[in-house]
Amino acid sequence: MGNSRIKWHIVVFLAPAVLVYTAVMILPLFNTLRLALYTEVDQSRVFVGLDNFRTLFGDPLWSDAFWNALGNNFWFFFIHMLVQNPIGIALAAMLSHPRLRFAAFYRSAIFIPTILSFVIVGFAWKLILSPIWGIAPDMLAAVGLKSLYAPWLGKEEYALTTLALVSVWQFVGIPMMLIYAALLSIPEEILEAAEVEGITGMAAFWKIKLPLILPSIGIISILTFVGNFNAFDLIYAAQGALAGPDFSTDILGTFMYRTFFGFQLQLGDPHMGSAIATGMFAIILTGVCVYLFLIQTRIRRYQF
C-alpha cells in the first residue's frame, strides 16, 4: 500500500533540473527535428516531410558538401584519437610517477589551455603560424628547418590537420586529468603484488595499469567523439564560416552554421540547417549507442 503513494519529495527535488533541462535542451532538440520537416514557400511554413533530407542526400550540390564535411569530421576525430588520447595517457602515466618533481606544476600548465576560449586559441595560433608575423617560421629557422615551414592554415592539404592539432593542444589536458585520476585510484597493493611477481616499470604499466584504466579510456573516446562531431568554434574562429581553403576545413558544425544562418549574400535557411543538425544528431546518437551497447558492456571492470 505504501508503494502506491506518490513520493512527493522525489518529484520536488527532480523538478528544477528536469524543468531547466527540458526548456533549454529537450524542447529545442525536438523543435529542430521538427523544423527539418518543413520548408518556407512565400513567407509561410509548409510541411514537406522528408524532402529536405532528399535534397541533402540526393542533390549533388548538397550531398557533396555534406560528405565532404562528414569526411573532414572523421579526419578531425581520427587525429584526436591518434594524437590527443595517447599523449594524454602518456602524460598521465608520467605525472602519476611517484618520483616526478613539480608534478602539480606540469599538471596545471598542461590543463590551462583547456579553459581558454576557442576564440583566443584560434586567434593565437593563427598568429603563431602566420607566414608574416608568426614565430613559427622564425623558430624553425633557428633550428635550421626553415624549409619545412609552409603556410599550413592556407594549404588545402594541411589546414584541417593543423587545426586538429591545435585542438589537440587545447584539449589534451582532459584525457590527462581523467586518466590521472583513474591511475591514482589503482590500489597500491595490486602494484606491490605485481612487483613481488617481478612485474615492474613499463611492464607494470602495460600489464596492470592499462587494463585497469580501459573503462576511462572508453569514456574519453566517447567524449572526444561527441566533442569533435559538435565542433564548430575553433574552425569558425580560425578560418571563418566558409571554412577555407576550398572547404578543406569544413566540418558538420560550420556547414550547418552557414546553411542555417546564411553567409554574406547567401540567405539563411533554417529548414535545411535543421536537416543538417538532425543528421549530426543521428551520427552522434549512433556513435554513442555503438559505444554503450557494443563496447562498454564488453569492457571488463574490476572491483577493488
Partner 1 sequence: MKKISLSAVLLASSALAGAAYAETVLTIESWRNDDLALWQEKIIPAFEAQNPDIKIRFTPSAPAEYNAALNAKLDAGSAGDLITCRPFDTSLGLYEAGHLTDLSDLGGMANFSDVAKSAWQTDDGAATFCVPMASVIHGFIYNKDAFNELGIEVPTTEAEFFAALDKIKEDGTYIPMAMGTNDQWEAATMGYNNIGPNYWKGEEGRLALIEGSQKLTDEAWVAPYRQLAKWGEYMGDGFEAQTYPDSQNLFTLGRAAVYPAGSWEISGFNNLADFEMGAFKPPVQNAGDECYISDHTDIAIGLNAASPNAEAARTFLDWVGSEEFATIYANALPGFFSLSSFDVAMEDPLAQEFVSWRGECGSTIRSTYQILSRGTPNLENETWNASAQVIKGEESPEDAGQRLQDGLASWYTPHQ
Binding site for partner 1 (CB under 8 A): 43, 61-62, 126, 129-133, 137, 150-156, 239-242, 244-247, 261-268
**Closest approach of partner 1 to the CB of residue 46, in Å:** 15
Closer Cβ to partner 1, 151 or 218, answer by number: 151
Q: Whole-number minimum distance, CB 262 to partner 1, in Å?
A: 6
Cα distance between residue 43 and residue 177, in whole Å: 51
Q: Looking at beta carbons only, is 12 or 267 nearer to partner 1? A: 267
With respect to partner 1, which residue has the nearer C-beta, 96 or 161?
Answer: 161
Residue 42 beta carbon to partner 1: minimum distance, rounded to whole angstroms: 9
For residue 48, how many other CB atoms are within 10 A of its CB? 17
Q: How near is the Cβ of 115 to partner 1 at its closest, in Å?
A: 24
Minimum distance from residue 141 beta carbon to partner 1 (Å): 12
Q: How far is the CB of 266 from partner 1 (least distance, A)?
A: 4
If the CB atoms of residues 77 and 257 are measured against partner 1, the closer one turns out to be: 257
Closest to partner 1 by CB, 54 or 155: 155
Q: Which is nearer to partner 1, 17 or 61 (CB)?
A: 61
Q: Cell 540567405 sits at which residue?
A: 267
Beta bridge partners of 231: none
Query: At closest approach, how far in Å is the CB of 244 from partner 1?
Result: 5
Find cell 549574400 and name the residue.
Answer: 265
Which residues sit opposite 266 in a β-bridge? 263
Pick between residue 12 and residue 41 the one whose CB is nearest to partner 1. Answer: 41
Phi, psi of 263 (to 5 degrees): -155, 125
